[in-house]
Every structure is written in C-alpha cells, then in structure tokens.
Structure 1
Amino acid sequence: MSSGGVPVDDAPVDDVPVRGQDRESDPWIVTAAVVLTVLGLLNLVSIGLTSQAVRHAIFAVVGIGVMLLLSRMRVSKLRRFGWVTLGVSVAMLMAVPFVGVSVKGAQRWLDFGLFSIQPAEIAKLGLVLVAASILSGGYTFGRLMTMLLIASGVIALVALQPDLSSAVVLAAVAALMLVLGRVPMLPLLPLFGLGIAALPILGLFLRPYQLERIQVFLSSDADPSGSGWASLQADIAIGSGGLWGLALDPMYDLRAQYLPESEHDLAFASVVYGWGLFAGIAVVAASLVITWRAALAARRARTKEAALVAAGIGGLFGIHAVLSIGASLSLLPHTGMPLPMFSYGGTVALVGFVAIGLVLAVRRDGVARPLWAQPSTRRRRPRGMTVGTAAVTALLVAMSVFAWQLQGERGSELRALSDEQMTRCIRLPAERGQILDRNGVPLATNVAEYTISVVTRMFEENDPATLGELGALLGTSQDELTNTLGERGVGEMETVVGRVAPDQARQIIDAQIPGVLIVPSGRRHYPYGDSLASVLGYVGIGDPQDMERWPQLALGSRVGSAGLEKQYDALLRGTDGKQCLYVDPTGNVVGPGERVDPVPGHDLRLHLDIGLQNVATDALAQAVRGSGGDLGAAVVMDARTGAILALASVPGYDNNVYGPPVDAVALAAQTEGPGPSRMLNHAFQTAAPPGSTFKIVVASANAEDQVLDPDEAIPTGAAFTYGGHTFANWQPMGPNNLLQAIQWSDNVYFYKLALLLGPERIATVADQLGVGRRSGIDLPGESAGFLGTPESVGDIGAIWYPGSTVLMGIGQGTVTATPLQVAGWTSGIATGAMVTPQLAGAYGPGEGTSIPTAEPHRLPFDDRLDPVRAGMRASAAAGTGGQLASLPITAGSKTGTAEDPSAPGDGLDAWFSAVVPFESPEIVVTVMVRGGGFGSATSGPVAMSILERYLAERPAPAPPR
C-alpha cells in the first residue's frame, strides 16, 4: 500500500469489501451464455439427437451453477485456482495415452463412467490463468522462459493425442497472453517468426486425415464425394438454410444426416440449416457479447492478473468463435473446433461456464472502489485488448456477411443440390410412339412385353401375403420370388422379378401392390423387315454422341440410332417418368419420394405407302437379280409437294436384330461378307454417275442461256472427236434437234451442246436443280453427290481436261448423283418448281398434327422449259422410255445407261426416271440398278410396276360438271 491508502499495482486491495460489490453482475454476458446454450439445444433437437440434448442441458445447468459460484470468488484466489486447474489438466493429459478413450484414431478423452472429460479443453483455461499469474508480475527473461516452457509442454501433450485444433488454439492462447501481458516486442518478434517458420515441419507429425483437411482447404478441386465432402455439406447447409431454416421441413431429419459433425465441429452450419441465418447471427452476436464483456471486465479489473485473466478468457472465446464459424463457412480448415456452450460436449460447456464465472468474479471485484482511490490503470491494462477484440468483431461480422451472400448467390443451387443428393430416381421409360404409313398401317411397333420390378423399402417383401399375391400374378412360387429378391446387390433400389405379357401386366396394375413397377420392355418390332429397314432405322441404347445431342438423356435410355427412328427421336421417344426414393448418406433407401408417370411418345404417320413400297422393293430385287447388278434403289415422290411415297433399297437388312438387346449372331450374318452395304439406303446415300438422265439438266441450261436453238437439227452420227479423243454415241444417229436428242438420248448432240454452254453455265443451272447438294430429305446421312467444274475439281487436287466438259454433257466423268437427286430434277423440270422430299406427314393420335413440307421453289427459267418437257414427253411416248406409252395416262421420262467403274459386270448403271400424268404431274418415279445394264431394259420394268400399282389405287378424277 502507498501512503494515503491508494492501492498500487497488484496490492491485495480486493480483500477489502466495497459497498455495492456483492450486488454487481453482468446480465449481458450471462444472457449470451444462455443464448448459446439454448441455440445448441435447438440444434441437437432438430437433428434428432434428443438424448445428447438432455445431457447437454444437464451440463448447462451444472455449468450455470458453477458459474454463479465462481462469480463470487475473490480475485486473490485466481493464482491458486489457475495453477490447480493447469496441474489437473496436465495430469489428465499425461494419463490419456494410457487409459484414454480413442475415437477416430485420436485419444483425447478420459472415461469416468457417467461422463467423459477432454483434458485439452481444461488445459486451455488453465494456460490462460497460469500465464496471467506469471506475467502479472512484469516482464523478466525468467518469467518469459517459464511461460514458454509451461506452454510448450502442454501443447506437446495435446499434439501427441493427436489433437491438432486444440494444439493450435493453445499456441494461439500462449501468444495472445504474451502480447496482453506486455512482454516487449523485441523478444516476441523473433519468437513468433520462429514459430511461423516451424509450421511446415508440423506436417511431418500430422495424421493423414489432418493433412487431408488442410489440403481440402488449400485446394479448389477437392473431390466433393471424398475429401471435400464436409466442406460441400457445410455450404449446402448454410446456403439453403435461408433466413428461418428448414427444421420444420418434413424431410429435414434426412437432410441433416448429410452434414457431418453437425452437433460439434459444424454446429454453426447445422443451426443455420435448421433455424436459419437469424439463428446463426444470434450465435455470432452472443459470441461477440462474451468477448466484449470480458474485455470490459478486464478494463475495470483492480489487479493486472485479474485484467489478464478476463482479457485472456475473452480472447479464448473469440478464437474459438472465429475458428469454429470460419470452418463452417469453409473459410478456414476443418480443424474440429467447438464453440463453448453451443457445440455439444460436456467438458467444453463446463469450461465455458467456469471461464464466464471467472470473468464475472473479475468484474464484481472491480466494480466499485472509494472515490478517493483512483490509481492509474494504464500500465495494468492488457496491451492490444481493444484492437484484438475489434479484430475478432470484424472477422465475425465479415463471416456473417459471407453467409448472407452465400444464401443470396447460391441459395437456390445449393437447395437443389441438397434435394438431389438425398434422392435417387428409378427411370420409368416412356413407351415409344409407333410409325405408321399414310393409311395407318403400323410399320414400327412396340413388343407387347412388360418388365416387372419391385422397389426396395416400398415393397413389403417380408409379408408372405404380398409375396404370394405377386408370385401368383407372375406365375412363380413364393420361394422363387424370395430367392430373386435375396440375390440383389447392396444398394440396389429395384430388382427385376419378371417379364410378362400385356394381360398379366394389367392384372398386376389392377392389384395395386405397393412398391411394384410395371414398365414397357422397350423392344421394338418392325413387321416389314428389310423392305423398310434402311428407311425406319432402329433403336439402341444411347451412346456418348446421343448424350451430346440430347443433354437431358438418362443413362440407359433407348433412342433412335438410324433412319426415321433417329430423325424423329424427340417425337417418338416421349418423356420418361420417374419413381424417386429418398436415401441416407450411405445410399440406403429410407422411403418413397416423388413419382412422375411417363408420357408416351407420339405416333409418327408417314406419307409412305407400304403397298407401293413393297411393290417397288420386290420389283427392284427381281431386277437386281435378273441383271447381275449388285444394288438398286427406287424413289416414288409426289411431284407437287415432295412427299415420299416409297423409298426402296436393295439389298436390305432386318432391323429387328438390333433389339435391343442386339442379336449378335443374326447381325453378323447380314453385315459380314462381300457386296454392297446393306445398311445404306441407296436411294439417298449412294451416289453414282447419272448418265443420260443428266441430259435434261444440260438441256435446261440451254433453255436458260440458249446457245443453241432447240429447233435446230445438228448432225450427230456414231461418235464425236474432240481434243484428240473420240466419244461414242450409244448408236449411230442422224441430225437431231433438242426434242429428238432427248427422245432418243443422243450422246453426240449433248457433247456438242455441253461444249457450247461450258461447264460453268451447266453447273449454275444444275445447282438450281439440286445437283451436287443434299435434297434436305428428313433422314440422316444423305449423300450430296458431286457436281464437277474446273474450279471444284481443282479444289480436290484433280485436273479438268478438255474432254471433261464433253463427258459432263451426258452425266459422266465429274458428275455423280443419288436416285433421289435424279427424281428431284426430273420433277423440277416437269413442274417448273423444286420440292423438298419428306417422309413424315403428321404426328399424334388419329390423323395427328400435320408436319408441313417446305414450299416448292419456282425455277427462274420455268417459262423456257417447254422444249425440254416436249423431249421428255416424246421419250415416254415413242422413245427410249416408250414402254410408258401403254399406261392409261400420259407420261414424261428420261432413261440413262451410265458407265460406272464401281459397278459389277459390264460396269453399266441402269437409270429410268418418269413423271405422270405429264400435263399435271403428280408423282415422279426414279429407279437405278447399279451394274444393271441398259436403263430402259432393266430399270424401266421396275418403274412400270410402280406406276401400275399407283394408278390402280389412284382415285378416279371427278367427272366434269
């Protein structure tokens, strides 16, 4: 005591009672402690840990009692209390390796039967108290070394458990107390530098899971299903919690199971998940109240030791709050840091209440003193206390803002992710729509077969009555059904128990047995086999290309893989349904979820006439066999609209073998071996020299530019010599004009006409007639053919010879076309307009919704095509296509016999193209047989068979009025 009775430094004035001292308390800090406790209890109850909530409440009640008891302790006893606390904790820490309880590879607890104790939590408070005792006497090197030795020993004991988070906190507490205790910065800075430099060495002593936690924090690409799981779940919890939380959501019990350590390490994330951001802010606010009120108690303390105790306890709470909340927000590594009173744990709760009781004792002691006793407290006040408390405040406020931003920016995404991770859905495939011909005849149907499966946790497989009922409907015994269910793999959500016919499926549906799914097998049936296979295509399991084309396509979906099945897959496939199930984090089914019934696909009605298609296919196959050719194609198209009435291709294949599942043996039998590909539709996927059918294109070019008067007869003969080469006629001929040259397919006339026109002018008109470009038919894989000019031939590295123009005049050399393209220009010249070929006519039930065809494109030289049309009419009446004269209506035609190096036999492709009735064309028929010889002899009869079938069923014209 100094003279005048004024207390100086740490004189024991606290033993002198002061008026009003016993009545002083701090309701703010007590309320904050109670708020943390209540929020912790709410969290435990909401995640279903009721028994733990009861234990936590008991510890809280005991803790509050201890807090109130210690709040009356005189500060002169802090020194003794601190050394006892640290001594007891060290003794228990030393006992842990021998008798401690091991959890998750760490030995941190001592089991006392009714309760267990984590000595590291007691050591944190003990270190604060002992450090305050040592440093309150002022700085000396001996006191510094004593403090460091004690702290190092405690940290080492904790680290050996191993308990990384507690060891880090103890190191932080030691550093904090050195700063608060006003140890000069000169010895502190190198000490702190040495500590930072030694951090990498700690990695050698960390367990794998501890290293993984650090790596997850430092890495931005941690596996969310592995090392990044906890971080992801914490983001989901905070982001989807909203302002008021999801605790009242019926599915919250299941959602909460996905957040690990929700009662302890990630309790902050859990309380936001259950009770919303407001609850999380309440946790932050309560933590800040405790930190600030402890700092204010330190300012009012009458001794330096008491001030250091209060400031150290405030700092300890702040460190815990920052590390715990920061880990929940993934802003700091997941070190397993509890928040006192809030996180579940008896030791941490009791220690928290003890610490607050000590703060209350410091505050009670420093409340009132005689007005004449006002010593300077500046040197007794802990250093940096206000700045440190403000820093903790700033960090926790910034974390609260971050949580709010996470909800605002990613809330919907994370809520959806929460729904997704706890849901597994069984796809209910939609029944595929049928493909029908123009008269409603089924061309592609679904096999009348249904798959029956049972769903785990929805089907009462332990109920003999349910098993017996389903077994009877399936035609199997109860024992066999039980064995089938018992053979399913772990985690399987459904088990296929049988395949049944429609009648059985209807009986099972009517029985309404819970947990039984009835879905179509998805197998496709094509009643007309190879006649239509290359048009219809087939169905298969979706591959990566299909997934890219249809991003929402489910794995295992059946999609169109070729032909119309592929082209109109979106219409035919329908929309799959789903039966969803809720699963826990281990993947076990816990109950049924949403069910969405599938929507069947639309039926697709074609313009195609199956009767006409069969006639074309049969006649074509006979022509190919009879002529020695290797392939053939026939096109029947509406000349007015482009509607395809038949698209025959020989040889064909049986698309029924594709299933799925694929019949590998049958598939190999029809795809292996020599010969042309059966998989192609040669009508639009095989291009060949069009021969003399191209002459009407050259004649149309002359109609556009008229380099030769159509009425002028020019000498032709048996051959034509140009550039040192002789080009033959197919037979000797006299002088011919344009009509006669088309009628009798005079090669020499068109040699000369091609030279007069030049390749560019021919190509300009040919392009308008669809030569060398795809027609736009609604089928995948169309060939564009080739239209050669000096420029385009040069582009592919070839040479345009003088004779190339001559050959171009008769559709040889650098010109190739598909039968569909030949049909297109035949129709275009006859009608004066180009149409877009199309197979699909309508979709949907009944007559369906029409699928419009493209509007015809009028040719700019339509009004000058009469001479060409006259030649086509003459060809059909009494020329190379004269066999058409026997038809009951007028016709126009152009035949062709093309030299083709790829053709078998004599290397001649047989072409025949005709339109009827010629005065007002309705349909165009084009036939090609590769290696078939002369067009009129081989392909002409095929065209006649098709036209006769068409005319036989053609509606009679209305009588004149």
Structure 2
Amino acid sequence: MRGNDRESDPWIVTAALVLVVLGLLNLVSIGLTSFAVRQLGFAVVGVGAMWVVSRMRVDKLSRLGWWMLGASVVMLAAVPFVGVSVKGAQRWLDFGLFTVQPSEIAKLALVLVAATVLARGYSTLRLLATLAIAATVVALVAMQPDLSTAVVMAATAALMLVLARVPLLPLVPLFTLGVAAMPLAVLFLRPYQLERIHVFLSSEADPSGPGWASLQADIAVGSGGLWGLARDPMYALRAQYLPESEHDLAFASVVYGWGLIAGLAVVAASLVIAWRSALAARRARTRQGALVAAGVGVLFGMHAILSVGASLSVLPHTGMPIPLFSYGGTVAIVGFVAIGLVLAVRRDGVARPLWAPPSKRRGRPRGMTVGSLAVTAALVAMSVFAWQLQTERGPELRALGDQQMQRCIRLPAERGLILDRTGVPLATNVPEYTVSVVARLFDESNLGARGQLAALLGLPPAEVDAPLDELREGEVQAVLGRATPDQARAVIDAHIPGVLVAPSGKRHYPFGTTLASILGYVGVGDPEDMERWNHLALGSRVGKAGLEKQYDALLRGSDGKQCMYVDPSGRPVAAGERVDPIRGHDLRLHLDMGLQNLATDGLTQAVRSSGGDLGAVVVMNARTGAVLALASVPGFDNNVYGPPVDLVALASQTGGPGPGRMLNHAFQTAAPPGSTFKIVTASVDMVHPVLSPDQVIATGASYTYGGHTFNNWQPMGPHNMLQAIQTSDNVYFYKLAELLGPERIAEVADQLGVGRASGIDLPGEATGFLGTPTSVGEIGSTWYPGSTLLMGIGQGTVTATPIQVARWTVGVGTGAMVTPQLAAGYDAGTIVPVDTEQPRRLPFADLLGPVRAGMRASATVGTGGQLADLPVTAGTKTGTAEDPSAPGKGLDAWFSAVAPFENPEIVVTAMVRGGGFGSATSGPVVKAILARYFGAPAPAAPAATAAPPG
C-alpha cells in the first residue's frame, strides 16, 4: 500500500527549511544581502535535487554513491593544481558561474559507498576495501589542507563500521591504533591549526591574536540575550567583529543577531534531522538503506556538535559548517541531497511489497539509538552552556563588545585656579588651546565645513587639509595647531562635526619663587600617579607637588571624551558618545599675598645680611590654624615645569646656589629649635612640678654636670622661671631638665607637637625628632648624661620645623593646639569650606600661666623686647641654636611670637639657618609682619648688632 502521508516526512523537510531560513536571516542581519540571495538560489536548486533523489529507488543509491565518489576524488585530486585558494587553504574549484567544494561531496559519497560495501555483510575484504576508500579520500582532503574535514570524514568512516555491525574484534585494535597515532598528527599541522589547538587548551591565549575568534564568539553568544541585537542600529558594526560569521561561527552569529531562541531553533532543527534519519533507518527495507539514513544522521549530528561547540569555545575552532544553515552552495545542495536520501529510504520502507519479509532487528544499524541520544545530550548541554554564558557573563561580555568597537579621545578638563584669601590668582591656566580633527568624522569633502574651520582659525584651507593628508596608518586624530581663547570659543560654538578643542594644560604661576614651594607644579601623570588615581587617563596632567598635588582631585576636574565607533581595523565609521569636560574647582586659600610678600622680602634680606643659607617664616591664625603666609628662601620658579618642562631652565635653577631650593623650609626642614624649646621644658614643670616657678635658683655663666661644662650664653644671676624665660637663661633650664628627666620632657613635648607632623595640608612634611634614651638607642646612638641637659634647651636630640615651633608657641600661648591649614574652601557654585580639624585644648592648659608670663616678659624687656613698641601686646620666645649643618658660626636664628597676648590671634615664627642670634636676625622679620598685620607702620630693620642675643 502507498500513502503519501507515510511516504513523505514533513518533519525533516520542515527542519531543513528552518535551517535555510535561519541561515538567510543571519546573512541579511550581518549585511551580506548578496550572499543571502545567492544562498537562496542554492537552496532552491537543493530542494529540486532533494525531490529528485527522494524519488530514487534504494537499489539505485549504490550507483549514485560510486558516481559521487569518483567525481569527488577526481575533483579533490585536481584541487592542488587548479583549485581556488582562500586564506591559505586550497579547497574549491571554480567553474565560472559557481564554485564547488569537493570535500563536501566526498563526505556524502563516503556514506553511500560505505553503506553499499558493508550492507552485504562483514568480511575482511569488505572491511579493507572500506578502509582503503576512506583513507584515499581523507588523504586528499588533508592535502588541501583541510584537517578538520579530514578528521570528520575519518570519524564518519569509523562510525559507518560501527553502524554496519562489523565485529568488535577487528575494530578495537583498529581504533586503538588510530587514537595512538593522533599525537603524530601534530607533525602535519600548519601554524594556524596549532594556534587553534593552543587557544582551546590554554586560557591565556592572546585575545588580540590567536584568541580573537574565541573571544568574539563568546561576546556574540553572551550578548545576544533571548531575542538578539539585530535591531540595534549599530549591529552591522558589531557583526563585523565576529570572524566567519556566515560560515564557521554562524551559530554564534545567529544568537548575536536573533537571540538564544534562534540558536535553540538551529539546535532543534538539527536534532529533528538526526532523529528522523534514525527513524528512517529503523524502517528501512534494506540494510543498505538503513546504513544510508543512519550515515546521514551521523553527518548532521556531527556537524552540529562541532559547529555549535566551536561557537561556544567548548571545542576547537575547526571551521565546520552546519549543513543548510551555514553559507556555502556546495554545503547547501549536498545537505538537501542528503535529506532526499533519507526520504528515499523512508519511501522505500513504507512501500515494501506485501510478500517482502520484514527486516530483522539484527539488520538494523548498531548503536543508532544510543548515538542519537548522545547527539541530543551534547547539543542540549551546549544549549544550557549558552544560556549560562548569557546569564552569568552577559553584561560583562556586552560591555566588552561595546568597548572594543569604540575609541575615545580624551577631552582634558581645564584645571581650577588657586586664589589667595582676597581672590588674587596664584595659579592660572595659560590661555592656549589645541584644535584637532578626527579623521572620517570631519567631512573632508564638505568645502563649507573646511572653509568655516579655516576662517575661524585664521588659516588657509590648505593648512586644514595638510594634517589630515599626513595621518599615518592607525592614527585617527590630526592636530591643526594652537588657538586663542576667542578662536577656541568660536570653534566650540560652531559645532563642526569631528572638530575637537582642548586646553593645552600649561600652568602659569604669577608669583614664581615666592609661592613655588607652596603651590608646587603640574606634570604628566606617571605610573605612581595612576596607582594613586585608579581612573587617571594616560597623558593626564596632575599635581606633582605642593597644593597642586594635595588638592589635585578638586583642581583637576573631570575629563570629557569624544568617542567614535571603529571597525575591526580601527578605522572610525561613526561618531559616538560625547561627554563634555567639567572644569576643576577653584581653590581659595587662607594665604594673604601682602603678608606673604612681606615675609619673603624680609626673610630674603635677613638671610642675605646674616650670611645664612636658608630660612622660613610661618604666619598663622593662632585660633584656627589658618596659614596666612609660609615663606621659604631660597626658592625656585615653578613656571619652568609647564607642562611641557623647560629642561634648560630647570637645569639652570636646580644647579644654582642655595641648598634645598625645591623645599619649603617652613615644614620640610627640621633644625635644632634652641631656646624656643625652653617654653616646652617650662611647661613640663607645670605638669610634673619639680621646681616652683617662683623659686629663684643660682645660674651663672655655666653648669658642670658629669664632668662636662655647659655654658650659658652670658653670665647671669639667680632667676625664677619668668626671669629665665625673659632672659633665655640656659643654666636655669639645664638644672630644670636634670630634675625632670627626658621621659617626662618627651611626654609633654609630644602633646605640644614636638617630633610629629603638624598635619599641614601639604605633602612631604618633615616630622623632626624628639629623642629619649629609648628612641636614641633604637637608632643605634648613645644617650649621654649631658643629653638631658641639652634636651632642656632644644639642642642635641631635638629637631623641629618652623611650623612645629609655631604650633607649640600657640599651644603654650593659648592652651590649645591648632592644625595648620592653607586651603579655606573651593568654588562649587558657592564657596564650600574645606574640612578643618578643630583646635584641641591641652589637658594642662590652665597650668601654663607662669610660662605665658615669661613669654610676655620676653616681649617687653627681654630677648624679644623689640616687640614692646607694637600697637598690641605680644608674647615671644627667641632662640639661637647650635647647628652643625649651618654655615658661618653654625648658629640658627629663631624668633616666635603670638599677639595680642591676652587673646592671641596670630603667631609668627621665623628661622634663618646660619643667621646668628635669633633676636637680631629673625626678630625684625617677625616684628615687621606683626606691625603690618595690626596696621602699624613697618619698622626700619635695626642693625644686626643692635638687638640683644637670644
């Protein structure tokens, strides 16, 4: 009986057409419309061939197989001589209107011939004949070279032996020999084939080299989601990054464009063909027909597993297409012929005559059901893997896909200004701008745009074209030149596509050496800066020293970017996102340039006239810690740092006279504080009383202790604490230190900030040193009996910076410790104050009255008596410290004062290394600053010999 509904198999035909439609959909979505039309033509021819073959009698298939084998062998033999070479492989024959890939015909021919030979039953001769035929075809294919197809054909031949129920006894040693010989195949692999294996086996393959295809396949599958990105306006560009998207990686491509749903449809259609082929084999009337149908199922299942596995990078990239789905005329026609063979076998089985004996189970292909289940399990597992790739890594891969097709040009933000307390600019930007053009985004053919840009820049049109013509391969940006601020604004307002305007980034410091050690300078970020700022772009300008470094995050602003979409070769194809830069905040300081200039000028004169080599002045609000001036000499000119750096000028000033030109000596140079430390020692006695401040003790010209004589700066009579501070009596403080001991001195001195950073908002602060027997021993030195005495007068194991001396002067004078602060606030539409540490009241503040009385006496009729004629009261302590590093007589001149004394508002501390006596050298500088601050006429500087020593 015949029944058209039983003879035909709509399932397998529908599955074949689904694969064709999905393949065409993939070609159209990736922009290969002409390929899609050509593939549709091949599909039409294939459908016709399928119908013709499906009408053939099964007993005629052997003749078809031999004809196909003979033709394919002839063509394979001709390929090395007249074949078409593509990407280093010679696999095609060109027949003018179309090309043929003989290896695809040979695959199906091998199935047909093997079925014909093995259908007659097992014999050694038939086994050897099958192996010889397979070996010949495999060898010819491997010579092309097409190792992946050769391996598939060898596997197909082996599976045909299994399906044909060849006894296992001869098969086991044969298969064992084949597996053992596989490592030898490495000797015949081409470099690109070895790279594919390396990429599959190694997780460290270079994604820009051998790992490119694997990475792009992961991006495609992971980004596709359920419904794909084909409707994304940029999908045509995305698709260009996936290599072989029409053939080898067509599965990844269809998931990229049409989602996991489309990918599952490809898998489902392939499984339908494999299972319907297996079912046709079970119903076949003849053994030959059963083997043909089963062999077709093997081909479809194997191709699907290898192609899908390669797209998911779970198998090496073998270049294996999915029949009917991947692009290729030969693959499409041969695929439809294979479907026609299954239909012919099914038709023959359904049309069996009534007298024909039923097929025996023994005659069915071996392992057909198990094989079908294995194919199903593998494809289902790969589908689950694809889903997991999307759910677990989808956003990451989508971002990676977006990133790789964009190139962004940084648009540097203008740096904020630095201003003094009254708004005087201290650090500004040089008004220079760079104008550049992005090739391919700037319409070079648009004469109007060229003429407009040239007119705005005041250039001839030819000078706009020249930089574009000189662009080298891989470069996308051409710099036209500098522009004035007005020109830059005009170009920006014109909104010409592809034209970028950026500030030069060069800084200008109007006050040069006066503020260089405070402000610092700007330079191009180095690896250390990039570690500090994780998102710092290559080539960014950052603060390298001083306030520029300390407040870089505020001043630098946020860079913008002009992105562009590029094809895989890096050529721009379209404009992308643009983010305008955000200018940095202006930084407002407590610094008063009037006081800063006065302090610098006075200090410079003091250093020069005294023979000193360096000096520093600190002017600070005694109530808040706001730094009003921070003078340091000698200095350097930070304008030479640009950027770019003026190397000649830099070499000239760094090689010039004067030590530590790059340092601010107010907080980066520690020296013996000398007698300024005596108010610290006196404060210790208030906390740990050992000598009543009213008690008068004998002092004299020297004090002998431990066999050593320690001199006073001049012979003196008996003194109490007030008188000792007033006259800076060394012997009094030798004896007091001996009674107190170094540990108690260090305990209180630590609370007054000795030997620790002040916390000023500048990088690179020196901490000084506060030695005790323990700490001195830790550094490998010895604490001598006289070390305690020297500690009492700020010599020996005590060093301090001028800003530390200013802090303890405030601490003793007010009872509270303040943290020095230069920055007052930043401009964010309104002035936002910078966080400031609040004053910390000393636990012994109420005990310090006698010490303050001594400071007041010093400023009236003592070593600091020159302050007596100020319009306000003051308290002071002078110092003349022995310093081995100082030039000349080796004496550092110190002077530190607070005023008004009853409620201190300001502290001024000055130090000149090698300057001699503190009151003579540093005193006039301090007095001039206090007079200016409180509105009195600046006093004339007295002669160096007129003031009493300190």
Q: Same fold, TM exceeding 0.5?
A: yes
Amino acid at match of 1:813: G
Q: Equivalent residue for 2:125? A: 142
Q: Does 1:63 align with 2:46?
A: yes
Residues 155-234 of structure 1: pairs in structure 2 closer than 5 A: 155-234=138-217
Residues 670-749 of structure 1: pairs in structure 2 closer than 5 A: 670-673=653-656, 675-749=658-732
Q: Equivalent residue for 2:405? A: 422
| Aligned equivalents of 2:681, 2:334: Cα separation in 1 | 102
How many pairs does the alignment contain? 937
| Secondary structure of 1:276 counterpart | helix
1:897-930 deviation per Cα after TM superposition (whole angstroms, max 9, x unaligned): 1111111111111111000001001011111101
| Aligned equivalents of 1:327, 1:458: Cα separation in 2 | 37
Q: Is the 8 A contact 2:439 2:468 kept in 1?
A: no
Work out the percentage of aligned pairs sharing the same amino acid. Answer: 77
Q: Equivalent residue for 1:457? A: 440
Match of 2:310 among 315, 327, 337: 327
Match of 1:265 among 216, 224, 248: 248
Q: Equivalent residue for 2:373? A: 390
Q: Is the 8 A contact 1:691 1:898 kept in 2?
A: yes
| Aligned equivalents of 1:20, 1:889: Cα separation in 2 | 123
| Aligned equivalents of 1:554, 1:112: Cα separation in 2 | 56
Q: Does 1:357 align with 2:340?
A: yes
Residues 523-534 of structure 1: pairs in structure 2 closer than 5 A: 523-534=506-517
Match of 2:771 among 769, 788, 801: 788
Amino acid at match of 2:453: L
Amino acid at match of 1:720: Y
| Aligned equivalents of 1:703, 1:348: Cα separation in 2 | 101
1:196-219 deviation per Cα after TM superposition (whole angstroms, max 9, x unaligned): 111121111111111111111111
Q: Does 1:546 align with 2:529?
A: yes
Deviation at 1:20, TM superposition (A): 2.7
Match of 1:500 among 460, 483, 496: 483
Match of 1:823 among 806, 810, 818: 806
Deviation at 1:463, TM superposition (A): 3.1
Match of 1:535 among 514, 518, 527: 518
Deviation at 1:68, TM superposition (A): 1.5
Match of 1:316 among 286, 293, 299: 299
Match of 1:87 among 70, 75, 84: 70
| Aligned equivalents of 2:835, 2:24: Cα separation in 1 | 67
Deviation at 1:545, TM superposition (A): 0.6
Q: Does 1:881 align with 2:864?
A: yes
Deviation at 1:846, TM superposition (A): 6.7
| Secondary structure of 2:17 counterpart | helix
Deviation at 1:265, TM superposition (A): 0.5
| Aligned equivalents of 1:823, 1:22: Cα separation in 2 | 105
Match of 2:112 among 129, 145, 161: 129
Amino acid at match of 1:936: S
| Aligned equivalents of 2:115, 2:423: Cα separation in 1 | 95
| Secondary structure of 1:33 counterpart | helix
Q: Equivalent residue for 1:559? A: 542
Match of 1:659 among 622, 630, 642: 642
1:864-915 deviation per Cα after TM superposition (whole angstroms, max 9, x unaligned): 0111111111111111111111101000001111111111111111111000
Q: Equivalent residue for 1:52? A: 35
Q: Equivalent residue for 2:326? A: 343
**More displaced 10-residue stretch of structure 1: 366-375 or 198-207:** 366-375
Q: Equivalent residue for 2:633? A: 650
Residues 2-13 of structure 1: pairs in structure 2 closer than 5 A: none
Amino acid at match of 1:273: Y
| Aligned equivalents of 2:359, 2:829: Cα separation in 1 | 100
Q: Equivalent residue for 2:103? A: 120
| Aligned equivalents of 2:59, 2:353: Cα separation in 1 | 19
Deviation at 1:514, TM superposition (A): 2.6
| Aligned equivalents of 1:111, 1:64: Cα separation in 2 | 23
TM-score (norm 1): 0.96
| Secondary structure of 2:361 counterpart | coil
1:302-356 deviation per Cα after TM superposition (whole angstroms, max 9, x unaligned): 1111111111110111110000000000111111111100000000111111001
Amino acid at match of 2:206: D
| Aligned equivalents of 2:291, 2:488: Cα separation in 1 | 80
| Aligned equivalents of 2:88, 2:936: Cα separation in 1 | 86
Unpaired runs of 5+ in structure 1? 1-17, 955-961
**More displaced 10-residue stretch of structure 1: 493-502 or 102-111:** 493-502
Q: Is the 8 A contact 2:441 2:572 kept in 1?
A: no
Unpaired runs of 5+ in structure 2? 938-950
Match of 1:943 among 908, 912, 926: 926
Q: Is the 8 A contact 1:21 1:367 kept in 2?
A: no
Amino acid at match of 2:65: G
Q: Equivalent residue for 1:238? A: 221
1:394-414 deviation per Cα after TM superposition (whole angstroms, max 9, x unaligned): 110010011101011111111
CA root-mean-square deviation? 1.3
| Secondary structure of 2:809 counterpart | helix
Q: Equivalent residue for 2:610? A: 627
Q: Equivalent residue for 2:947? A: none
| Secondary structure of 2:332 counterpart | helix
| Aligned equivalents of 1:804, 1:184: Cα separation in 2 | 103
Deviation at 1:827, TM superposition (A): 0.5
Amino acid at match of 1:919: E
| Aligned equivalents of 1:509, 1:104: Cα separation in 2 | 47
Amino acid at match of 1:558: R
Q: Equivalent residue for 2:941? A: none
Match of 2:738 among 721, 740, 755: 755
| Aligned equivalents of 2:559, 2:315: Cα separation in 1 | 44
Q: Equivalent residue for 2:892? A: 909
Amino acid at match of 1:71: S
Deviation at 1:22, TM superposition (A): 8.3
Residues 429-448 of structure 1: pairs in structure 2 closer than 5 A: 429-448=412-431
Q: Equivalent residue for 1:925? A: 908
Q: Is the 8 A contact 2:700 2:712 kept in 1?
A: yes
| Aligned equivalents of 2:748, 2:497: Cα separation in 1 | 69
Amino acid at match of 1:918: F
Amino acid at match of 2:636: Y
Deviation at 1:456, TM superposition (A): 1.3
Q: Does 1:797 align with 2:766?
A: no
| Secondary structure of 2:667 counterpart | helix
Q: Is the 8 A contact 2:634 2:658 kept in 1?
A: no
| Secondary structure of 1:379 counterpart | helix
Deviation at 1:224, TM superposition (A): 0.6
| Secondary structure of 2:444 counterpart | coil
1:263-292 deviation per Cα after TM superposition (whole angstroms, max 9, x unaligned): 000000000000000000000111111111
Q: Is the 8 A contact 1:671 1:677 kept in 2?
A: no
Q: Equivalent residue for 1:32? A: 15
Q: Equivalent residue for 1:768? A: 751
1:104-152 deviation per Cα after TM superposition (whole angstroms, max 9, x unaligned): 1111000011110000001111111111111111211111111111111
| Aligned equivalents of 1:252, 1:481: Cα separation in 2 | 34
TM-score (norm 2): 0.97
| Secondary structure of 1:403 counterpart | helix
Deviation at 1:953, TM superposition (A): 8.6
Q: Equivalent residue for 1:893? A: 876
1:175-231 deviation per Cα after TM superposition (whole angstroms, max 9, x unaligned): 111111111222112211111111121111111111111111111101111111000
Q: Equivalent residue for 2:504? A: 521
| Aligned equivalents of 2:900, 2:375: Cα separation in 1 | 94
Deviation at 1:373, TM superposition (A): 5.8
Q: Is the 8 A contact 2:134 2:157 kept in 1?
A: yes
Match of 1:299 among 278, 282, 285: 282
- Rate the CA distance shift 1:418–1:191 in 2: closer, same or farther, 3 A: same
Q: Equivalent residue for 1:99? A: 82
| Aligned equivalents of 2:2, 2:479: Cα separation in 1 | 84
Q: Is the 8 A contact 2:859 2:874 kept in 1?
A: yes
